[in-house]
Each structure stands twice: as C-alpha cells, then as structure tokens.
A and B are shown apart, each in its own frame.
Chain A
Amino acid sequence: MATRPADPEATGGGFAWRERLLTTLQKRGAIVVLVLVVVVSALAFDNFLTAQNLQNIVLQGAFLGLIVVGMTFVIISGGIDLSVGSMLGLGGVIAAQTVQVYWPLALILPPLLCGLIGFGNGLLIAKAKMAPFIVTLAGLLGIRGLALALAGERPIGINGGSPFAWFGQGQVLGVSVPIIFVLVAFALGGLVLARTSYGRVVFAIGGSEESARLMGLPVDRTKIIAYTTTGVLAGFAGALLAARLSAGDPNAGLAWELDAISAVVVGGTLLTGGGGSISGSLAGVLLLSILQNLINQLGTLGSYAQQLVSGFFLIIVVVAQAYLSRKQRG
C-alpha cells in the first residue's frame, strides 16, 4: 500500500467513505472473510475453537505458508513461480538422504540447493528475459524428475531418533516447531515488503517494470533475489515436511504451486503484480487450511467435494476482487 497514494481522500465527501470501504474490502477482504469464517465455524462446531484444532489448522498450512511468503514477493513483482512444489519435493528427498550422514546437513542443504535452483530461475528470467511461466514450468517438470530420480521413485524413510525429526515434530512452549518457522517467515516477509527499499522496488517492478528500470532501480537483482528466496523457502519447507513425516517423499508438494498461487490471490494480491500484502497471503493460507479442516469436520463431504468447494471459493473471491477493483476505477 505504500506505493499506492491514498487516492480516496482526494475525492472527499461521502464518496470517499464508500471508495475507501471498497478499497479496504479488496485489499483486506481475505482478513475480513477469515474473521467471518472463524466466527461462524466457532458457533457452528463445538470443537472448532479448541487449541488442538487451531494448532492442526495452522500446522496444516505451515509448509504451504513458507512457500507462499516467497510466492507473494514473486507475484507482486509481476512474475510467477510454478516450480515451488517440485522444489519442496526435492528438498525433502535431499534432507532424507543427508540426514544419516550428519543431521544438520538435512536442514542446510535443501534450502541451499533449492535456493541455487531459484537463483537459476531468476537468472533466466531477469537476465535472459525469458517468461517466468515457462522457466518455472520447466523447473516444475525437471526438478520433480530430479527428485524422483534421486529417490529412486520411492519415499526415503528418516530414522525417528534423529534430532532432525524435532524440527518437524517437536514443540516449543506447546507450539509446533514448523508453526514457529512459518510465523517468523511471515513476520520477516511482511517487514521486508512493507518497510524496506527492497520491498518498494518489488512493488515498483510489478507496477511497471519499464518505469522501474528507467528510474534506475535494480530490477534484475530484485527479481533474482525474489526467485532465490522462494527457492530457499521451498527447500526449507521440504526439509521440515520430511522431518514431520519422517520420510522424504519425492512426490511431496505435487500441485502445491497451484495452492500457493490460490492462497496469494485469495489474499488480495493481484496476479498482474504491483499490489498485495503478506498479511493477505497469511489470511489466504489460513482460509484454505480452515476450509479443508471444516470439510474434514463435516465428514459427509468427501475429498471430491473439497476440490469442488475450493475451486468455487477461489472463483468467488476472484470475481469479487475483479468487481471491486472495477468499482474502484469507476
């Protein structure tokens, strides 16, 4: 929001109030919906608002959440990263393979290697000027192939006794470790996006790359950093998920790129770039998690209906956003 001048004030009078409400709804819609959904669910289901269930919801979204932080930066800069799900799979496989050698390697290598891949994505996109969709689509295919090849197309088990397992299954003051990591990631991401010059450049590139370049902003470097960060986070999420499940599954994270994009878009970030927020993305991830949790609680709805509801939900949110942003423009 920092880069968007406060236009509603300019008009003044009664219209400003309405305009501001619409703007807020579009940008903060996910949070409003999130609060509504939580309140309704709490009233409708006795065991929704228990500490255990809330922890389950957040934990369910934690691994996706790490990816979503990076994806938010990438999408705001006007790009997209389809390779995150495959990188998560690769991260888990690398973690499972290195944990026997020396367990800290399982935490360090996945983010490092996936970060390198992300760096490669960024180079091809920023320097070779290739379309992000294509570069990361190739990544999606190639990295998944690599993960499957490395793992021999089977999940690799992790010895439960290893200290590494704590990073997926342990708790600090009753809070699961992956949740702590994802909260830290969201907090840092939010700070960087809203409060640093790097964040402003990300917004500027998404708004108009040409202008950003003409203003002398470090466009290439900013993009490369965004894709590298996304890779690091995806690799780390893969390692944590492997620790949680005590196995590195080369098929982990299949189609997660779509979930991540959904979460970001539901969170009010425009796919065209230039606008969005980390808090919205957090709300988006939580909404998707809650949706899944509610469907599980209802029980009568199978996983098929869950897909139907998710697809429908995504469309409602996006249509509402399109409608609101059109209203805004007059």
Chain B
Amino acid sequence: MARGAAEKKSFDFSTATSWVRGRGVYVAFVVLVIFNLVVTPNFASVVTVSTLLITVSPIILVSLGVALAIGTEGIDLSVGSVMALASAFLPLYLGYGWPVAVLVVLFVGALAGLINGGLVAFVGVQPIIATLAMLVGGRGLAQIFAGGQSLPITDPVILWLGQGRLFGIPAPVIVAVLAVLVMGFLVKRTTFGRYVVAVGGNRSASFLSGHPVRRTLLAVYVISALLAALAGIVATARLGASDPSNIGLLIELSAITAVVVGGTPLSGGKVKIMGTVMGVLLIQLITNTFIANDLPFTWAQVLTAAIILVAVYVQKGRGTA
C-alpha cells in the first residue's frame, strides 16, 4: 500500500523533479558546493578540499561496508567499535613490523565480522541486535586490550597511510578511492554482488533459487568489518596514536545516514556505491559549511536530520516499498 500512496504523490511532480528524485544527493551536493563557492571565503582552495577529503576517507570506508549490509536488508552498527579494536591492536603488534601489525588488525576485524555474520546468517539473530552487541562489547574489548591507554604510532609506513601523500594526493584519500573502486566492481560486476542484491530483495526467493544465502550474509559482514578495520588503521595513523575510546565513536550513525541519503533503501535489494560516497561528502560538507561560516555547529545536526527526512521522503516510491 505504500507504493500506491507514493505513486499518487508522484503525479504532482514534473519530469524534471522526477529526474532530481533519482539524483537527490548529487543535486544537493552541487547546490551546497555552489553556495560555499559564493559564501565561504577560501572554499575553492587546495587545503579546504584536501582537508574535506581526508576527513571523509575513514567514513567512506565504513559506509561502503554498511551500504553492503543494508543492501541485504541488514545493518551493521558495530563498525565504530571494530575501528576501535583496530586502533587498539595496531600499536601492540607494530614491533613485529607493519605488515604483521596490519595483518593482525585485519584478522581481528575479520573475526568480529565472522561473529556478526555468523549470528545473523546461521543463528538467525537480527542484524541490528547482533551488531549492537558487538558495538557495546567490541569497544569494551578494545579498551581492555589497550589498557585504557593511547599508544603512539612511530612506524613510518603506517604514519604515511594517515598523513602522507602520493603525487600530492593524501594517502587516506587513495585508500578510500581504491576501496570505492573495489566495492563498486564487487557490487556491479561479480556474482557475489548479484547475490547481495538478491538476498536483500527477497531472502526466501533467493534461497529457493539456490543462492548461497548464508555464505553471502557471512561474507557481507566480514567485508564490512574488514573495511571498518581498515578505516581504524587509517584513522589511527592520521592521529599518530591509538585511541580506542574515541576512534569511530558514533560513526555508525554517520555511515547509516550517508548510505540512506545516498539512495540505498533500508529495505534492502539495492546498493548504491557512488550514492553512498556522495552521501558522506554531502553530510561532511554541511558540517564544514557551518564551521567555516562560524555558525553554531549544533544546528548543522538539525539541518542534517531535516535533509535525511527530505531525501528519504523524496526517494520513496522508487520501487523501495
């Protein structure tokens, strides 16, 4: 019945607005960029743009995984805590060289993802609860391992990952772009991507068609956790020290917001990689706009909330019901 109501509404829109509907994030982003070009001093500078891109890099990494989970009609609330776990484990194993440390961190991330995915796929726990438990427990575990301390990172390779540049492009941005390309390929061009969309669209139909539903779900949560662990490494490297108490705190909310604003419906069956990236950029740009113009930052939160509601309301009826 939701679709019927939405269709009635869409008669009022002209063709132009229906074009806008499908690309709401892009339009909003462009409008905000133009607004900033006019209003914000020094907006079109290399420093401003690269600061924005570096800030969003870990959020993009995390959002890609969350988008995948939401595409299967699930959700991953644990990404921030997996980032904290990564941050806690990274300095502990840097003594063995950076490749070992990175491998250990990714292994820990994958383990967290296996627990999430196992609970969702094999035990039948709802994704929101399984990953909520990981959100609560994961950060606690991270802080126990770190002993509540912040350890400095001195390894040059890891530090480069957070603070270095290649051909003038900040390293975190390179990592994020690579992840976007890989995930875009995975979703659009591989069987796995098809399975994700099929499972999210109709789980029982997908199961009856002989798709490996459980394996797909497991893989989705492992990938999401791996991306979060990577984001944790990048964020820790950027900080130059581990900070399991604060790294990735509440990032799950930013990620979900970005994914939804980017056009991936919470009801699953669709994964918008570029939309998600634009969603992250849009939300960060709102915050930056407020800060750059000395407006009270908290109102940015209120505006973001309004944008979520408008974006979701406008996107309704595009076969998401």
Which residues of A come within 8 Å of B, CB atoms?
80, 124, 128-131, 133-135, 137-146, 148-149, 153, 210, 213, 258, 261-262, 265, 271-272, 302, 304-312, 314-315, 318-319, 322-323, 326
A-B contact pairs, 22 of them (CB 8 A): A129-B321, A131-B267, A133-B266, A134-B309, A137-B253, A138-B306, A141-B305, A142-B306, A145-B304, A149-B299, A153-B298, A258-B132, A262-B132, A271-B128, A305-B140, A305-B144, A307-B136, A307-B143, A314-B129, A314-B133, A315-B130, A326-B124
Nearest CB in chain A: distance from B61 CB, A: 21
A82 nearest in chain B by CB position: B253
Give 18 A-B pairs besides A153-B298, A304-B148 with Cβ atoms closer than 8 angstroms: A129-B321, A131-B312, A134-B260, A135-B309, A137-B256, A138-B308, A142-B305, A143-B305, A144-B301, A149-B296, A271-B128, A304-B140, A311-B134, A311-B140, A312-B137, A314-B137, A315-B133, A319-B123
Which residues from chain A contact B5 at a C-beta distance below 8 Å?
Answer: 129
Asked if B135 is at the interface (CB within 8 A of a chain A CB), the reply is yes
Question: Least Cβ distance of B166 to chain A in Å?
Answer: 35
Contacts of B302 in A (CB 8 A): 141-142, 145-146, 149
CB distance from B292 to the nearest CB of A (A): 18
- Nearest-neighbour CB distance to chain B for A319, whole angstroms, equals 6
CB of B306 within 8 A of CB of A322, answer no
Identify the closest chain A residue to B317 (Cβ): A129
B135 contact from A142, A311, A326, Cβ within 8 A = A311
- Cβ of A149: which chain B residues have Cβ within 8 Å of it? 296, 298-299, 302
B65 within 8 Å of A (CB atoms): no
Q: C-beta contact mask, B136-155 vs A, less than 8 Å → 1, else 0?
A: 11111101100010000000
Give chain A residues whose Cβ lies under 8 Å from the Cβ of B256: 137
Residues from chain B with Cβ under 8 Å of A142 in the complex: 301-302, 304-306
**Chain B residues in 8 Å Cβ range of A144:** 301
Expressed in whole angstroms, the minimum distance between the Cβ of A227 and any Cβ of chain B is 15
CB within 8 Å of A: which B225-241 residues:
none
Residues of chain B contacted by A153 (CB below 8 angstroms): 298
B257 at interface by CB-CB < 8 Å: yes
Residues of chain B at the chain A interface (Cβ within 8 Å): 1-2, 5-6, 119, 123-126, 128-130, 132-141, 143-144, 148, 253, 256-257, 260, 266-267, 296, 298-302, 304-306, 308-309, 312-313, 316, 321
Are B119 and A319 neighbours in the complex by a CB distance under 8 Å? yes
Helix, strand, loop or mixed for chain A's interface? Answer: helix
In the assembly, what is the distance between CA of A131 and CA of B316, in Å? 10
| B257:A137 contact, CB within 8 angstroms | yes
4 shortest A-B CB distances, which residue pairs?
Answer: A311-B137, A142-B305, A145-B301, A307-B140
The number of residue pairs between A and B whose CB atoms lie closer than 8 Å in the complex comes to 139
**Cα A292 to Cα B2 with chains together (Å):** 43
CA distance A124 to B5 in the complex (A): 13
B5, chain A: closest CB distance, angstroms: 6
B78, closest chain A residue (CB): A311
A314 to B298, alpha carbons, bound, how many Å?
Answer: 33
> A261: which B residues are within 8 A, CB to CB?
128-129, 132
Please determine whether A137 and B308 come into contact, CB atoms closer than 8 angstroms: yes
Q: What chain B residues lie within 8 Å of A304 (beta carbons)?
A: 139-141, 143-144, 148
- Residue among A133, A308, A310 with max Cβ neighbours from chain B (10 Å): A308
Q: How far is the CB of B143 from chain A (nearest CB, A)?
A: 4
Give bound CA distance, A44 to B260, whole Å: 49
Assess the A130–B267 pair: CB atoms within 8 A: no
Contacts of A213 in B (CB 8 A): 1
Partner of A130, one of B135, B304, B313: B313
Contact of B257 with A141 in the complex, beta carbons under 8 Å? yes
Query: Which of B125, B135, B305, B309: most chain A Cβ within 10 A?
Result: B305
Do A134 and B312 have beta carbons less than 8 Å apart?
yes
Q: Are A265 and B299 in contact, with the CB atoms below 8 A? A: no
Q: If A134-B312, A142-B302, A319-B119 touch, does A311 touch B260 (CB 8 Å cutoff)? A: no
* Interfacial chain B residues near A309, Cβ < 8 Å: 140
Does B130 lie within 8 Å of A141, measured CB to CB?
A: no
Residues in A neighbouring B135, C-beta threshold 8 A = 258, 311
Selected contact of A310 from candidates B6, B123, B137, B312, CB within 8 Å:
B137
C-alpha gap A137/B133 in the complex (Å): 19
* A291 → B minimal CB distance (Å): 12
In the complex the two chains form, what is the Cα distance from A137 to B256 in whole Å? 9
Task: State in angstroms the CA–CA spacing of A319 and B115 once bound together.
Answer: 12
